[in-house]
Amino acid sequence: MSEEAPDTAQDPDGDPAAPAGPVALGVVRAPTGHAGADAALDRLADVDHLPAEGHLEVYEDVHRGLRSALTALDAPAGPRSDENRS
């Protein structure tokens, strides 16, 4: 006779009442000082509440946001010097 696994898992201290499933890692994300990068990194908190299947979408979104923030840093701040203003 086979037994089904219970809905709880033991934590490292041996507590059988510990909840099974995903648990937030509690990774602290320090602000970078750049609004675009900070917004993208804040999005990482969303994976704490998603099953593993949902992580890829968040990671890709964060990657796009960080790439956009980095690209914006390379953009010239003012008008280009070769623009003809007549």
**Residue range 9-65, pLDDT digits in tens:** 445 566 666 666 667 777 788 898 988 888 888 888 888 888 889 999 999 999 999
Instruction: Give the 3-state secondary structure of residue 55.
Output: helix
Handedness of CA 64, 67, 73, 75 (dihedral sign): negative
Q: What is the pLDDT of residue 61?
A: 94
Q: What is the pLDDT of residue 60?
A: 96
Instruction: Using alpha carbons, select from 41, 42, 44, 40 the residue that is nearest to residue 65.
Output: 40
pLDDT band at 85 (very low <50, low <70, confident <90, very high): low
